[in-house]
Chain A
């Protein structure tokens, strides 16, 4: 049922090249999940989130010091190895310092026809944030118009907002099917869906979700749900890891990742001032920890997810050296603990020692099976 998403995940570059050929449109590489995709879609540009490949590499060290997270180095390696050589432009929406360096190194050494640094504010808890971001989006609009050679009208923006909002809506509907006693999909399947939405044409992706939604109510899962888990932390699309956890007696029922809910959870609320509406959406979305201060807005949101999806335990993952998440993990685990949700913490690198992680995950999952055993 989810095989199309998997194929898109596995063949992301083939997909983008094919899309470009058949539509004649431009493709924009997006650094971080804060790039306002509505505007790209409005300009008939395909937004493609640039992710890593989970393969060791030896090409980034001349440009990026090894103390920064494996994800940002993996992202740079993809550029240096020419994996994304079909991109017409790259956009960084400002967030952490780690990924910022990948962007600059791409700009300097990979060389893409267009590059754009979007000054997404890092303080979202101020009333100054949305007006400021709006003014930055006006500049970004001019950039898009320069790339496409045509004006971005209000109608275009409305269409972009509608298409992206619909995709978010549909993913929400699929997530609804994870709430019941027997989730109708695994965390792995959900991950294939959400991550592929980051580079597949939104309308094609939405059409595929609709097909899935038609079948989901009657889907019989031939596996035990096991422990209902939340997956939370840094950027994560480690398929092998998710698959391993779900093969030893657990199901991920929800996540808080920038490759999942943090990215698609809220919608643009229509407003006559389109750019203001888009800006407000990105300011108010579930924040990345690097933007989550002075208060911690992310935490009550996570607690709510746990309640809504009936979460029993959490696997907290962190990209090695990811400072923003490292500053959240201690209080996050305490908060989960205060809500009677035990958690297991794992540190991820480009590749992870699956065997050892399996031992730890199994030990963690034993906590949840006690009632059944006795």
Chain B
């Protein structure tokens, strides 16, 4: 039945090692006099790099996703959070993280490493509150930046200034919280790394327009994660370029992620991490998820290309811009992040619907699977409008309820049943 050849990703081992090192660095930072900060995948992580090369982040969402993947430990964490009296319908990443903190258990062994400070972004109702509680519980200083200035297309000077002013305040906070002097050169390097990293990731996703797709979404999760761990880390930006080169190699050699590819889909929102087998189930039908707005654009930064297609945003370095000052670096960083496609839906789901339709067309898809993710009010925001909008543009859509970080809220057999119905609707039967 195989139409294409396939082979494992060469970058896989390195991805594994880099990720392990990231968590190890955080855990052991204090042994060498380094600093630890906790925050979010959306945090402006380039900014704390100005404090030195020995400052290590822990971003809450991917850490919690790792916990969610370990079903039993996740349950322990969730129950610890519930035992403290918190509501069960709160962000499941936050509940996993808090649970790990309460239990004083690090997902990768040992006690939970306490941060020196918290550095967050407020994107949904829970983000500013997440580390408010962490800061109170751990008794650490806390700074959070609000980015709720609306869609990028409507960005103007006062909006940008609001974000940049907070960043300047944030640097004052960092100096005060750590007693360290801030180094603008390190900030500038970090901003350039972030732009390079997130633009390259968009390029990788763009390469997945190719048929057969060189990458499937399940593998993407293990690669895009670096942009959620630290967008501005040089090693990660370098690694993305290696991944990009491997994608080109796979395309040149017609190496498919799924040798039986005959149906191309995208998903939406974070997957139920304890049930990634959903993606393997699709393969039985010759169906592959080639990504999602979430995997493409939570990390990836995109722009309209001259030929009308969607591609990686040109970095300041590619444009020949040399960043000279702190303010210039912060303005570029704010503008860059505010253009993040995944950020637009927080204000207007119709923008997201249009982006999804664009992916549907440009990536030549057959359908869309929406994960109505009870665990994340942020990324599920407007999801029924997306459903409505896509359906009205004749895009075949299926939805399934679940929860990225709380396995108790996922009904495996019903979800598979729903996939069967959707596949039947698309005219596909299981491959023999």
Interface string of B208-228 (1 = CB under 8 A from A): 000000000000000000000
Is residue B166 within 8 Å, beta carbon to beta carbon, of the partner chain? yes
Binding site for A on B (CB under 8 A): 84-87, 89-91, 122, 124-126, 128-130, 132-133, 135-136, 142-146, 148-150, 158-159, 161-162, 165-166, 169, 346-350, 372, 374, 377-378, 380-385, 387-388
Q: How far apart are the CA atoms of A127 and B172 in the complex, in Å?
A: 13
Nearest Cβ on chain A to B151's Cβ, whole angstroms? 9
A97 contacts B377, C-beta separation under 8 Å: yes
B143's closest neighbor in chain A, by CB? A294
A117 contacts across to B, CB distance below 8 A: 150, 347-348
From the candidates A94, A105, A123, A331, name the one contacting B136 in the complex (CB within 8 A).
A331
13 A–B pairs (Cβ distance < 8 Å), ordered by A: A67-B372, A97-B378, A101-B349, A117-B348, A122-B146, A123-B128, A127-B165, A128-B166, A129-B162, A323-B90, A323-B91, A323-B377, A333-B85
A105 contacts across to B, CB distance below 8 A: 385
Is residue A344 within 8 Å, beta carbon to beta carbon, of the partner chain? no
Q: How far apart are the CA atoms of A12 and B123 in the complex, in Å?
A: 35
Q: How far apart are the CA atoms of A267 and B125 in the complex, in Å?
A: 26
Q: How far apart are the CA atoms of A176 and B385 in the complex, in Å?
A: 46
A61 contacts B384, C-beta separation under 8 Å: yes
From the candidates B91, B142, B162, B387, name the one contacting A121 in the complex (CB within 8 A).
B162
A61 contacts across to B, CB distance below 8 A: 384
The 6 A-B residue pairs with the shortest CB-CB distance, nearest first, are: A123-B146, A135-B158, A327-B129, A132-B162, A128-B165, A293-B128
A327 contacts across to B, CB distance below 8 A: 90, 125-126, 129-130, 132-133
B165's closest neighbor in chain A, by CB? A128
Nearest Cβ on chain A to B343's Cβ, whole angstroms? 13
A331 contacts across to B, CB distance below 8 A: 133, 136
A126 contacts B165, C-beta separation under 8 Å: yes
A108 contacts across to B, CB distance below 8 A: 350, 385
A330's closest neighbor in chain B, by CB? B85
Nearest Cβ on chain B to A294's Cβ, whole angstroms? 5
Q: How far apart are the CA atoms of A135 and B158 in the complex, in Å?
A: 7
B90 contacts across to A, CB distance below 8 A: 323, 326-327
Q: How far apart are the CA atoms of A329 and B128 in the complex, in Å?
A: 15
B130 contacts across to A, CB distance below 8 A: 327
Q: Which of A82-110 contact B (CB under 8 A)?
A: 94, 96-98, 100-101, 104-105, 108
Chain A CB within 10 Å, residue with most, of B162, B378, B382: B162
B385 contacts A63, C-beta separation under 8 Å: yes
A101 contacts across to B, CB distance below 8 A: 349, 381-382, 385
Q: Which of A292-348 contact B (CB under 8 A)?
A: 293-294, 296, 320-321, 323-324, 326-331, 333
From the candidates A65, A94, A126, name the one contacting B380 in the complex (CB within 8 A).
A65
Q: How far apart are the CA atoms of A296 and B388 in the complex, in Å?
A: 39
B128 contacts A67, C-beta separation under 8 Å: no
Q: How far apart are the CA atoms of A331 and B374 in the complex, in Å?
A: 24
Nearest Cβ on chain B to A34's Cβ, whole angstroms? 12
Given A122-B122, A327-B126, A330-B86: A294 in contact with B144 (beta carbons within 8 A): yes
From the candidates B125, B135, B383, B387, name the one contacting A290 in the complex (CB within 8 A).
B125
A68 contacts across to B, CB distance below 8 A: 377
Nearest Cβ on chain A to B201's Cβ, whole angstroms? 26
Is residue A233 within 8 Å, beta carbon to beta carbon, of the partner chain? no
A321's closest neighbor in chain B, by CB? B89
Nearest Cβ on chain B to A70's Cβ, whole angstroms? 12
Interface string of A129-142 (1 = CB under 8 A from B): 10110011000000
Nearest Cβ on chain B to A210's Cβ, whole angstroms? 39
Is residue A364 within 8 Å, beta carbon to beta carbon, of the partner chain? no
B403's closest neighbor in chain A, by CB? A67
Is residue A52 within 8 Å, beta carbon to beta carbon, of the partner chain? no
A67 contacts B374, C-beta separation under 8 Å: yes
Given A122-B128, A123-B146, A294-B128: A326 in contact with B169 (beta carbons within 8 A): no
Q: Which of A197-236 contact B (CB under 8 A)?
A: none
A324 contacts across to B, CB distance below 8 A: 125, 129
A100 contacts across to B, CB distance below 8 A: 346-347, 381
B132 contacts A64, C-beta separation under 8 Å: no
Q: How far apart are the CA atoms of A101 and B403 in the complex, in Å?
A: 20
B145 contacts across to A, CB distance below 8 A: 123
Q: How far apart are the CA atoms of A94 and B346 in the complex, in Å?
A: 11
B374 contacts across to A, CB distance below 8 A: 67
Nearest Cβ on chain B to A137's Cβ, whole angstroms? 11
From the candidates A289, A293, A326, A329, name the one contacting B144 in the complex (CB within 8 A).
A293
Is residue A357 within 8 Å, beta carbon to beta carbon, of the partner chain? no
Q: How far apart are the CA atoms of A331 and B86 in the complex, in Å?
A: 10
Q: How far apart are the CA atoms of A97 and B126 in the complex, in Å?
A: 10
Nearest Cβ on chain B to A311's Cβ, whole angstroms? 22
B91's closest neighbor in chain A, by CB? A323
B346 contacts across to A, CB distance below 8 A: 97, 100
B158's closest neighbor in chain A, by CB? A135
